Structure 1
Amino acid sequence: MKSILYTLPFFLLAFINTGQGQEKMLAKDEAITLALENNLGIKVAKNTKKIDENNANILNSGYLPTITANAGGSIDQQNTEGQLASGETRTADGAETRRYNAAVNVNYTLFDGLNRHYSYKSFQERSQQSELEVRQTIENTILQLFTVYYEVARLTENTKNLEQALEISKDRLKRANYQFEYGQNTGLDVLNAEVDINTDSINLLNSRQQLRNTMRDLNLILNQDLSSQFVADTTVNFVPGLQMENMHNDAKSNNIRLQLVEKDINISRYNVKAAKSVFLPIIGLTGTYGWNESNNNSPLAFLIQNTSTGITGSVNLSWSLFDGGRGITGVKNTKIGYENQELLKKQIALEVERDIRNAWDSYTNALYVLEVQEKNLQTNQNNFNRTDERYKLGQVTSIEFRQAQLNLLNAELAQSQAKYSAKLAELQMLQISGQLLNVDF
């Protein structure tokens, strides 16, 4: 049993040290650039924006005329018999008649009850809304990016702390072996030190595995090779001078959800006006330039060849006086849709106010927890330093030393967790206030 415990730490250490290499630093601004350029969700949102821009173009407005061209030809062969005024009878076998025609038609709607006017306005609002949706996608992606990025940074710090804990346990094992050889302690201290090395080695292996998995998550967001390795920047800078009143005011004017629902209200308003166009007449212009030619080789024909060209134009008026009630129903339904958007806006406004207040409380609480954890870390660091000195002098047991070591490790992990939790709370608050893309990370 002793030999197994003695060999296991060195096997774990050999496995831990395998594949260690230098990796390049992935700075925060570089991560943002990669996400904006490569993230698939952002690309989809931008393509959707292009579609809405095309819909809002004058070519899709209905304000331009339609022009069509058509042409045709026919050949007719018939056997005919006719009697002239003189009484003479004539026959024509296989008499052939050829007809050709071509025309260019122009149609233009002068007035359609303002339907196209408000539909065009609606398309323009939708185009502006799609820009906001791109911004929303970018905000969500940036927040997701830093949620994973700071998790990589946290696991990086945790891994370093676990590596330091493992080094301390290795030194303790050497000291225990020396003391055992000189008869200053029993073999129990050596076994305890070996068990603790096993525990620290397994914790370090698990932390590194979590770090690799989280790096793959980040590579997925950046749309790059999932096997790419990098080092995250573990420095955290908080935005100075944040105040609740300013955050609250910014949320009212800049929150993306409020801006999106405002566009929905505008679109619904234009839909109501467009629906009312069914009660008004439609006035249109039609113009045609045509060419016709006819050839007839029958001796009975009055004209052997006939060619004509000309321009025709007309004004059309159409007014649906009653369509069975469908128009009235449509107007009623679009009005209800508009009312629903107004109610939804009130609901979202309440939710945003709740979210910004909750986010502010979470942010200030996270900063306080971070301050407490930093003080706790300093206390545990001082306690460990004292215990280490006393352990070297033989004034404390290995169990007491190990407890001080674990206290320090737990304090380091807690302080790291508090630091990144506070930063994420800040980013979430900035997103709700609409300021996420206006700050330095």
Structure 2
Amino acid sequence: MKLVGLPLSLLFIFSLGVSSADAQETLRLEDAIQQGLQNQFSIQIAKKREKIAENDNTLGNAGFLPTINGTTTKNYAVSGLNQEFFGGLRAPLNQSGVRSNSGNAGVTMAWTLYDGKGMFILKDRFAELQQLGAQQTETSIENLIALISNTYYDIIRQELRVNNFKKGLEISNDRLKLAKDRYEVGQGSKVDYYSAQVDYNEDKALLLAQEQSFLNTKISFNALLVRAMQTEFKVLSVIDLLPKLSLTELSDLAMKQNPTLLAAIVSKRISDLDIKNTQSLQMPQIDLLAGYNMNQVENGAGFGVQRGTSNALNYGLRATINIFDGYNQKRRVQNAKINAEIAQLQVDDLKNSLNASLERAYVTYENALNLINLESENYTIAKQNIDIAFDRFKVGIATSYELREVQRNAVAAETRLIEAKFAAKSAEIELIRLSGGIL
């Protein structure tokens, strides 16, 4: 890019938020989030675990339905017989290779009619576990969206830094050409020429390092979306901020909809149900029992019953109650109550941690907003100084050192502005995630 004869301010008209276009795919944040939610293994695992909890939430698993078992057996025998009778009343009986078989088939049923409302408690518990699975999935989704969003804006930050360093390098290149021309016609010193060359090489090295960081961030982003690591794409180079967030509103929302907190509250309800379930074991259990059995016999011996069948239908009630088990039941109830108290303490601790995280993130957020205002002003002044210093350098009023300092200040001012905007956006994403509103 030829800069000689052009106002130096043209180097800086590509401010934050302006993107260049090329043939690469322009990836919007919304599309990136959609790809990540579809492809990320952690989300797929969370959804499958949620499905397991949903499958467990049935009447049969809670004990409402009867259990019915069917059995069948078939036995075969080959036997021999040698018998002699007292007094010769009967002739001796000798048999060998006598074949006989018997069969049995039956159906049994057990149906719990009453168990101290334990089955109702279990059904409620499975429903809460299903809800817990949904909350955990939502937590995974929100965390992934926040990570994708933050990485997306980090790519924008890295690209803006690359463009900033390119502009600095272009200034160094223009200065190097001018210093070389002056040296060759005898109007400049060799020191100025060599200094310009060293500064140019330094800026080139900074650009190469920044380009490497930019490419590595894009590779990490592709891995996050679970796609080919070398997939090329462009981003909309705008670090856009929402209207200023309110800490009070964020705190209120976090107490109502933060998925991690909601999951802890569900866990507390599960602990309460565990107390009731353990207490229900102290009540009697009444079961309805029924069964049907059929037997079949075929005898190959020459005496007795040759073949026959029999069947029986039986039914009744069974009542069981735990009378004494070494105080183990009492101990289990006490432990269940302690676990419920622990679950409540965990909810309270999470609320406290959540408020602290919101406060810290909001301090970072406000500080970044203040820095944006400050660095925007510095950046405007630095751009003006570049034009002035370069004009002074061309006519020999300013030294190479003075131009270099102005150049560094301009690059540093834009870098700080980029970092301030990224810090504000990162804090904004974190605040919305903590409030449970990122979806």
| Fold in common (TM above 0.5) | yes
1:186 aligns with one of 172, 184, 189: 189
**Which stretch has the larger CA shift, 327-336 or 91-100?**
91-100
Q: 1:78–1:197: structure 2 CA closer, same or farther, 3 Å change rule?
A: same
Report the 3-state secondary structure (helix = DSSP H, G, I; strand = E; otherwise coil) of the residue aligned with 1:102.
strand
Aligned-residue sequence identity (percent) comes to 28
Q: 1:264–1:298: structure 2 CA closer, same or farther, 3 Å change rule?
A: same
Matched residue type, 1:300:
F
* Equivalent pair of 1:54/1:60 in contact (CA under 8 Å): no
Report the 3-state secondary structure (helix = DSSP H, G, I; strand = E; otherwise coil) of the residue aligned with 2:431.
helix
Could you tell me how far apart the structure 2 residues matched to 1:82 and 1:331 are? 69
Q: Is 1:350 matched with 2:352?
A: yes
Q: 1:112–1:82: structure 2 CA closer, same or farther, 3 Å change rule?
A: farther
Matched residue type, 1:200:
D
Matched residue type, 1:102:
A
1:400 is matched with: 402
Matched residue type, 1:122:
R
1:61 is matched with: 62
Q: For 1:230-250, what per-residue CA distance to the aligned partner results, in whole angstroms no more than 9, with x for missing partners?
A: 222221222225322211211
Consecutive unaligned residues in structure 1, runs of 5 or more = 1-20
Could you tell me how far apart the structure 2 residues matched to 1:299 and 1:22 are? 97
Report the alpha carbon displacement of residue 84 of structure 1 after superposing the two structures with TM: 11
1:365 is matched with: 367
Could you tell me how far apart the structure 2 residues matched to 1:90 and 1:239 are? 108
Report the 3-state secondary structure (helix = DSSP H, G, I; strand = E; otherwise coil) of the residue aligned with 1:229.
coil
Could you tell me how far apart the structure 2 residues matched to 1:305 and 1:22 are? 89
Q: For 1:94-121, what per-residue CA distance to the aligned partner results, in whole angstroms no more than 9, with x for missing partners?
A: 3443211111222222223333322221
Report the 3-state secondary structure (helix = DSSP H, G, I; strand = E; otherwise coil) of the residue aligned with 2:227.
coil
Q: Is 1:208 matched with 2:200?
A: no
Q: Is 1:154 matched with 2:157?
A: yes
Report the alpha carbon displacement of residue 128 of structure 1 after superposing the two structures with TM: 0.5
Q: For 1:105-156, what per-residue CA distance to the aligned partner results, in whole angstroms no more than 9, with x for missing partners?
A: 2222222333332222112111101111111111111222222222211110
* Equivalent pair of 2:56/2:126 in contact (CA under 8 Å): yes
Could you tell me how far apart the structure 2 residues matched to 1:202 and 1:333 are? 64
Q: For 1:27-61, what per-residue CA distance to the aligned partner results, in whole angstroms no more than 9, with x for missing partners?
A: 11111111111111111111111111112233422
Q: For 1:380-421, what per-residue CA distance to the aligned partner results, in whole angstroms no more than 9, with x for missing partners?
A: 111111112222222211111111111000011110010111
Could you tell me how far apart the structure 2 residues matched to 1:86 and 1:115 are? 70
Map 1:178-327; keep pairs closer than 5 Å: 178-240=181-243, 242-301=245-304, 303-327=305-329
* Equivalent pair of 1:35/1:222 in contact (CA under 8 Å): yes
Consecutive unaligned residues in structure 2, runs of 5 or more = 1-21
* Equivalent pair of 1:83/1:90 in contact (CA under 8 Å): yes
1:168 is matched with: 171
Could you tell me how far apart the structure 1 residues matched to 2:375 and 2:390 are? 22
RMSD, matched Cα = 2.0
Report the alpha carbon displacement of residue 372 of structure 1 after superposing the two structures with TM: 0.9
Q: Which runs of 4+ in 1 moved over 4 A?
A: 82-86
Map 1:35-74; keep pairs closer than 5 Å: 35-74=36-75
Report the 3-state secondary structure (helix = DSSP H, G, I; strand = E; otherwise coil) of the residue aligned with 2:397.
coil
* Equivalent pair of 2:136/2:260 in contact (CA under 8 Å): no
1:418 aligns with one of 407, 417, 420: 420
* Equivalent pair of 2:135/2:260 in contact (CA under 8 Å): no
Could you tell me how far apart the structure 2 residues matched to 1:187 and 1:298 are? 126
Q: 1:183–1:241: structure 2 CA closer, same or farther, 3 Å change rule?
A: closer
* Equivalent pair of 2:156/2:239 in contact (CA under 8 Å): no
Report the 3-state secondary structure (helix = DSSP H, G, I; strand = E; otherwise coil) of the residue aligned with 1:98.
strand
Could you tell me how far apart the structure 1 residues matched to 2:364 and 2:188 are? 51
1:4 is matched with: none
Report the 3-state secondary structure (helix = DSSP H, G, I; strand = E; otherwise coil) of the residue aligned with 1:279.
coil
Could you tell me how far apart the structure 2 residues matched to 1:249 and 1:430 are? 12
Could you tell me how far apart the structure 2 residues matched to 1:365 and 1:179 are? 46
Report the alpha carbon displacement of residue 79 of structure 1 after superposing the two structures with TM: 0.8
